[in-house]
Amino acid sequence: MNLTDIFIFIVKFIPFWAVPMILISIHFAYLYWLKDFREMTYVWGAITLFCLTSIVIYFLLGGPDEIVVTLLRVIH
């Protein structure tokens, strides 16, 4: 198993890791916001935005099969 296979696996299953990460990062961002620790709030907010962007791109490119084909074209 090489690095390309791992990358394809991660990209193909974006909703399975991005949705739980969104829920976790929103929770931590809110907790740090309440504790008035703004730097960590922004870090968790950035993680949330990255996951949301990943999901939007995933669905815009056509789901698990089309995103892999598109990314393989970009890589090669």
14 touches 65 (CB < 8 A) = no
Residue 64 scores a pLDDT above 90: no
Asked if the structure places residue 10 within a domain, the reply is no
**In total, how many domains does the chain have?**
1
Q: What is the pLDDT of residues 6-63, one digit of tens each?
A: 888 888 999 999 999 999 999 999 999 999 999 999 999 999 999 999 999 999 988 8
Asked if the structure places residue 1 within a domain, the reply is no
Helices 3-12 & 14-34 angle (0-180, nearest 10): 70
Q: What is the pLDDT of residues 24-38, one digit of tens each?
A: 999 999 999 999 999
Distance CA 57, CA 12 (A): 12
3 CB burial (10 A radius; 0-12, 13-18, 19+): exposed
pLDDT score for 75? 79
Asked if the structure places residue 34 within a domain, the reply is yes
pTM, two decimals, is: 0.85
Residues of the domain holding 45: 16-69
